[in-house]
Amino acid sequence: MNSKREGGHFTRWVQMKRSWLPYLILTAVIAVLTLFFGLQYRWMREASAAERERMQRRVAADAKAFADDFNREIQSIYFNLQFNAEVLKSGDLAELNERYDFWKEKTAYPELISDIVYLPPAADKAPQRYDRSEGRFVPFEADAGLGVVKSRISSADPRPVPVLDDLDALVMPVVSGERHFQRIVVDRVPRVAVTGRTIEVPEQTVKNEGHIVIRLNRSVITERMIPELAAKHFPSGDYRLSVAGRGGLTVYGDSGGEPDGSAGLYDLRPNTMIFFANRELDLPRRTAAPANVIVDQRIESTTMTTSPSPAPGRANTFTFEMRSTDGVRQRSAVIATPADEQPWTLKVTHASGSIGDYILSEERKNLAIGAGIYLLLVGSILAITISANRARTFAQKQVDFVSSVSHEFRTPLAVIYSAGENLADGVARSDDQVTRYGELIKGEGRKLTGMVEQILEFAGARSGKRRYNFAEMEAGAVIRSAVEECRGVIDASSAEVTVDVEPGLPMINADSAALSLAIQNLINNAVKYSAGTPHLVVTAANGNGRVAISVKDHGIGIAEKDIKKIFEPFFRARSVVDSQISGNGLGLSLVREIVAAHGGSVESESEPGSGSTFTISLPAAARKQ
């Protein structure tokens, strides 16, 4: 006895283990997918941060390269077209002519210079314009723009601001009596150990000989230089470029928003300048150049410091370091006066608003894709699990259906077999006995036929092959026909049936046989599930343009947990099965299929122990005009 009990416990344990194992595996798979998704999110955040840093470095480098190219064009004008007062006084402009021609040959923007003007220091002297065709400066009448430039230049200051960006002009002083450090000075410095000395260049009394003004063409800058440099350094089109002048005044593009990268334009500091390739076109020639000064194309170092005793009102006096040059290979050092500030600022902004916004949008997009894949995988796993459970449940219902149908068939078949055997063996000899056996066989055969017809009707409705013959008819006629078809069941159970059809009901479009079969199923169920003597009420009423057909009983009722499942195929409540009430679970499902084909709906209300009410709601037929 104990071994049997232990064996029963073991069997139930195995069954429970088998039922829980798929859910444990499902939980483990979802947990692993969730872990991967979390790791993916973490890696994505790290990759986004690295990409943001990379893009910011790239933008800064590209902006600097853009500015270097722009500044080199300006520097090639400013540093290479300077000359001293001696050249201007001598009237020999061969060097300037040669340099100007070489500049036009090498530059990509020969139209960038619109004018080269000499402004004498005396206010009563007329300005002179450089005429390349004649190779000299010629007097001309100053225009309003040049008058503004002249008013901005202080004649008392030999070193004015070199860039008047709002007037598109470069200003270079022409002085005598000093070594002028706004020109380029190239000094020999040995590559060996540092054994040099620092030379202070004292402030000298100089004479102002006027100013050279190089007027630039703004349209060339904004319509050619900047767009071409933008296409060169930002070819992808992912960035918006703008240029702002002093005070934030927009020169080019749209300067709204915080830039991702910036760089200074009009930068005349010599650490970013270039030399012309032609060595013979050196800086302004001096008749007695010191032996330790050479011209070279390579800039290796610059040393510039402000003098301890600057000139009054300005801090642009510089000292520079010179080292011993005795018999040692030299290297170049450049000293020049840089601009006090960078007049223009290049601003680079990502098209998305900023690099941060772009990275955030990409991060969200990648997160959405990852989340979508994660949800798809989890949803697929859940769908497969639910589908498998439903298939297993449906298969079990089919097994139960076959079992119940076999049981339903067995009883009438046994009765028919027994009656036929008695007739064949001559047990029933009198006419009354033969008639009784015949009626018995006939009744059981009707039951079998009804069950077979119900199964065939369900199969036809589920497959969509069932054809309905709709016609206008009265609901009352269909109800009375259904009650008469159930007369045998009603009489056999001594059921009381009350039919109440409201007068003046609208006509309905229905297949008489199919709708009658649906009502018959409801009546048969009401009789089958009644407690004691069945009492049924069949009614038909008008419900807001629809016809409501109801079958009410006072039977055992339906449990609340089963009320939503009773229309599912093969479903039978556990209490019904335990009570051994015959049935196959197809009746109510067939009712729903037939009513749905008529464009209607079926609902149920029930209270355990008090009975149930099933209501078929059908649309009224359209009235003919």
Q: Judge whether residue 314 has pLDDT over 50.
A: no
Is position 116 within any domain?
yes
Contact 549, 615 (CB under 8 A): yes
CB-CB neighbours of 520 under 10 Å: 22
Which range, 126-130, 421-425, 564-568, is most confident? 126-130
The whole domain housing 578 covers 467-619
Q: Which residue has the tokens 């006895």?
A: 1
Contact 94, 106 (CB under 8 A): no
Is position 9 within any domain?
no
Q: What is the pLDDT of residue 316?
A: 40
Is position 390 within any domain?
no
- Which residues, including other chains, have CB under 8 Å from residue 65's CB and lie 6 or more apart? 233
The two beta strands, 496-501 and 535-542, are parallel
The rounded distance, in Å, linking the Cα atoms of 532 and 55 is 86
CB-CB neighbours of 561 under 10 Å: 9
- pLDDT class of 200 with cuts at 50, 70, 90: very low
* Tokens standing for residue 153: 């230049």
Contact 368, 361 (CB under 8 A): no
pLDDT cut 90: percent of the chain above it: 13
Is position 458 within any domain?
no
- pLDDT class of 532 with cuts at 50, 70, 90: confident
- Mean pLDDT across 311-333: 38
Q: Judge whether residue 536 has pLDDT over 60.
A: yes
Is position 158 within any domain?
yes
The two beta strands, 136-139 and 185-190, are unpaired
Q: What is the pLDDT of residue 533?
A: 77
Q: Judge whether residue 182 has pLDDT over 50.
A: no
Contact 589, 458 (CB under 8 A): yes
| CATH number where 610 lies | 3.30.565.10
Q: What is the pLDDT of residue 400?
A: 67
* Tokens standing for residue 608: 């355990």
User: What 3-state class would DSSP assign to 213?
Assistant: strand
* Tokens standing for residue 323: 């080292």
The rounded distance, in Å, linking the Cα atoms of 270 and 304 is 11
The rounded distance, in Å, linking the Cα atoms of 226 and 248 is 18
More confident residue, 222 or 452: 222
Contact 239, 151 (CB under 8 A): no
Q: Which of 327, 351, 375 is the last residue of a domain?
A: 351
Mark whether 297 and 151 lie in a shared domain: yes
Is position 381 within any domain?
no
- pLDDT class of 136 with cuts at 50, 70, 90: confident
* Tokens standing for residue 150: 């002249």
- Mean pLDDT across 314-340: 39
User: Cα angle at 201 between 197 and 206, to 5 degrees?
Assistant: 165
Q: Tally the domains of the chain.
A: 2
DSSP per position, 89-107? HHT--HHHHHHHHHHHHH-
- pLDDT class of 55 with cuts at 50, 70, 90: very high
The rounded distance, in Å, linking the Cα atoms of 350 and 366 is 19
Query: Helix and strand tally (H, E) in the chain?
Result: 13, 22
The rounded distance, in Å, linking the Cα atoms of 201 and 204 is 9
Q: Which of 291, 325, 351 is the last residue of a domain?
A: 351
Q: What is the pLDDT of residue 320?
A: 35
Choose the weakest-confidence range: 8-22, 438-452, 534-548.
8-22
Is position 440 within any domain?
no
Which range, 15-19, 195-199, 214-218, is most confident? 214-218
Q: What is the pLDDT of residue 403?
A: 66
The two beta strands, 330-335 and 185-190, are antiparallel
Q: Which residue has the tokens 């004015």?
A: 160
- pLDDT class of 61 with cuts at 50, 70, 90: very high
- pLDDT class of 394 with cuts at 50, 70, 90: confident
- pTM comes to 0.56
Q: Which of 293, 318, 351 is the last residue of a domain?
A: 351
Per-residue pLDDT tens digits for 202-231: 555 667 788 889 999 999 999 999 999 999
Is position 241 within any domain?
yes
The number of angstroms, rounded, from the C-alpha of 556 to the middle of its chain's C-alpha atoms is 58
Mark whether 70 and 195 lie in a shared domain: yes
Which residues share a beta bridge with 117?
129, 213
